Amino acid sequence: MRREAVLICLVVTAACSVGPDYVRPTAPVSSTYKELGEWKRAEPRDDLARGPWWERYDDAELSRLEEQVTAANQDLVAAEARFRQARALVANARADWWPVVTIGVSATRARRSANLGTTFASGSTTNQFAMPIEASWEVDVWGRIRRNVESSEASAQGSAADLEATRLSLQATLASDYYQLRALDAQLKLFDETLAAFERSLALTRSRKAYGIASQADVAQAETLLESTRAQAIDLALSRAQLEHAIAVLVGTPAGDFSLAAAPLEATPPAIPVGLPSELLERRPDVATAERDAAAANAQIGVAKAAYYPTITLSASGGFQSTDVTNWLTWPSRIWSIGPSVTETVFDGGKRGALTAQARAAYDERVADYRKTVLAAFQNVEDELAALRLLDDELRRQTIAVTAARESVRLTVDRYKAGTESYLDVVTTQTTALADERTAVDILGRRMVASVLLVEALGGGWSAEDLPSRSAVAAE
């Protein structure tokens, strides 16, 4: 027994983990952001504030809604449940490090066949009472269990990062919907003012017709413009209602119980520090998820390769066995056995090779997914930088167009009153002015949404340092 114990200790001490050790895959990283331009100069140490990123927008209503998303959104609840499932799988994998101990109790009464020839006690009926206790322990010589635990821990870390990616996505979706709704509030306000002006124009046209100055065609054109504009306002109200319902779902409230008071958009995007491209890989939770998935897949290669090596198991059993219940649990009724076993698969029709090839292909797939996620992350940042820079320039030019359109309306109406312009000219200039003003308001909303999406693209202040350690995901 002492020799066996020494041998087992030597084997366990020399144990190794087969399969490749994980090295983080390489990914293409830009040296600068091409679309940054002069919009916002990168500051390496100027990070997004850790904590609620939406506080940069200084909007109390938005902050209130964002807090509700974190507390009540059902997608977030589901993501948190998936993380708890991943942690439970870590505990399940780590349990393989320990022996499996079972205990049972049985009582049987059996009759032997009388046609067993000279067999002892043939044709007799006997009782048997047993209480076996069995223990078995797989010695992890080749690291199968260690690799499986490593894979489970990496998957749990990836699930934690996925939880944060879900949280950030929901927060950004809420903010985007919120600013789109506020932009619609601004457009509805514009339509209210425009409809009031069109009603005055219709009254003026009817008055001029009564005096024989204007024709019935002028009145018809004024009525057409007024009613078509009212129809557009109704369509905007529908879009606003649908956005309000979407926000209700995000904050976990029935749509019928949720409402937001009208508040036209007047905000401007805050300064968003972009930082360096090399920092982006540590700031995006979706990149962390993809990287941890690759680590988990790499460990599974070791699990598959360990199947090529013998399985060493230490087994022990004991208990009590008797044919009489009165002396069942007495010392003479004891039974026991102990000893190691080694098993090796010598032929499986290529199954182990196929599983190893599958594990390697799965790892290659995860590496490709990781690199694709990195490329998409840089694309997201470049897209929103371009949007903010170009929309800022577009707004300046559109503001000039709105000023000119308003002046054109004023001059055309004055000339119509003086009888030097037809009402068709008035309708044309008023329609153009309304379209220009709507475009300006739309650009305001798009700038705010682009700002929110840039925050999301930069990780919202998250850092890979926030990822739970392997020991943390294994803790109770």
Range of the domain at 107: 102-139+310-343
pTM (2 d.p.): 0.87
Please report the pLDDT score of residue 303 as a whole number.
95
- Do 24 and 126 have their domain in common? no
φ/ψ bin of 152: left (φ > 0), alpha (ψ from -120 to 50), beta (otherwise) = alpha
Is position 12 within any domain? no
pLDDT band at 457, cuts 50/70/90?
Answer: very high
- Do 125 and 252 have their domain in common? no
pLDDT of residue 408 exceeding 70, the answer is yes
- Do 288 and 408 have their domain in common? yes
Tell me which of 295, 318, 343 is where a domain ends: 343
- Do 237 and 363 have their domain in common? yes
Is position 1 within any domain? no
- Do 65 and 152 have their domain in common? yes
CB atoms under 10 Å from CB of 100, counted, come to: 12
DSSP3 helix / strand / coil % (the chain, rounded to 5)? 65, 10, 25
- Do 226 and 294 have their domain in common? yes
- 176 closest CA partner among 466, 446, 442: 446
pLDDT of residue 244 exceeding 90, the answer is yes
- Do 319 and 304 have their domain in common? no
- Do 45 and 135 have their domain in common? no
Is position 147 within any domain? yes
- Do 275 and 152 have their domain in common? yes
Task: For the chain, give the longest Cα–Cα distance.
Answer: 135
- Do 393 and 377 have their domain in common? yes
Is position 6 within any domain? no
Is position 437 within any domain? yes
Q: Please name the amino acid found at residue 298.
A: N
pLDDT of residue 279 exceeding 50, the answer is yes
Alpha-carbon span 185 to 269, nearest angstrom:
18
Q: How many domains does the chain have?
A: 2
- Do 322 and 364 have their domain in common? no
Assign residue 240 the CATH number of its domain. 1.20.1600.10
- 457 closest CA partner among 85, 235, 165, 124: 165
Instruction: Read off the pLDDT of residues 55-98 as tens digits, 9 standing for 90 and up.
Output: 999 999 999 999 999 888 999 999 999 999 999 999 999 999 99
Please report the pLDDT score of residue 47 as a whole number.
54
- Distance of CA 370 to CAs 23, 109, 382, 453, Å? 13, 63, 19, 21
Is position 196 within any domain? yes
- Do 23 and 76 have their domain in common? yes
Q: Are 409 and 430 in contact (CB under 8 A)?
A: yes
